[in-house]
Amino acid sequence: MPEPTIFATDARRSGGRVVMFGIGAIVLILLVAAVLLFLNLPDANAFNARVERIFMENDGLNSGAEIKLLEILAQSGTSFADTLASYRMVIFVLLVFATALLISALVFLVTIIALNRRMGEIERAGIQINSLLISREERAVYLNNMEFSLTEAAIETLSVLAEARMDDDVLSGAELEAVISGRHASDCEEAAGATRIKRLRDALGNQMMSELLVKTIARRGYMLSINKDVIRMV
């Protein structure tokens, strides 16, 4: 028992390290991108500096129209500086938003991977069924004291599988149909038995429970994947 606990703890620690390294890598990449982006943005005062240089290099601009033109250029430079400042803020907000989205995506991805691994472990380990009680009169089956109400056809299918399991037999679809219908196996179709198995699984409802309870053996047939000593029929 200690080994699975150690394995689970190591898995959680490993997942935590992956998340932390991933978050660090995302923040570092976006930080480098932000620095490069802001360094390559044009200087907000470059336009105003050029207009000021024109004023200083052209002392002969004395007419009203020329002075008005330079004033318009100066106002355009101020507007350009304000616009560029707002662009910087927009870029900063977008980078923060992108960082949050990437971190969230990483956390969700690691969570999904961990859940898939956990589900795989459960499927491989199987579900420990300590008791299987089949009641024909009540048309119910009790799995570990969990009650499932089934149709008469589903109860009949499960009963035949239980009897075969107690005899250590594997039933093909045709053999299953033959036992239930009372005909010879050669007169029954494999698909008919497969249909009964599918309806039984659908009636049980819980997909994991039904898939692990009724086991399909390739090229042989079907059987209950539980210990025959836990089966009771009333």
pTM for this entry: 0.46
Both tokens of residue 59? 């002392």
Is 2 exposed, middle or buried, given 0-12, 13-18 or 19+ CB atoms closer than 10 A? exposed
Tell how strand 221-224 and strand 146-149 pair up: unpaired
Residues whose CB is less than 8 angstroms from the CB of residue 14 and which lie 6 or more positions away in sequence, other chains included: none
Q: 193 — phi, psi (to 5°)?
A: -65, -40
Give the pLDDT confidence of 69-107 residue by residue, as tens digits. 667 766 776 677 777 777 778 888 888 888 888 888 878
d(CA 96, CA 104): 12
Give the pLDDT confidence of 180-205 residue by residue, as tens digits. 988 888 888 889 888 988 888 888 77
d(CA 42, CA 49): 13
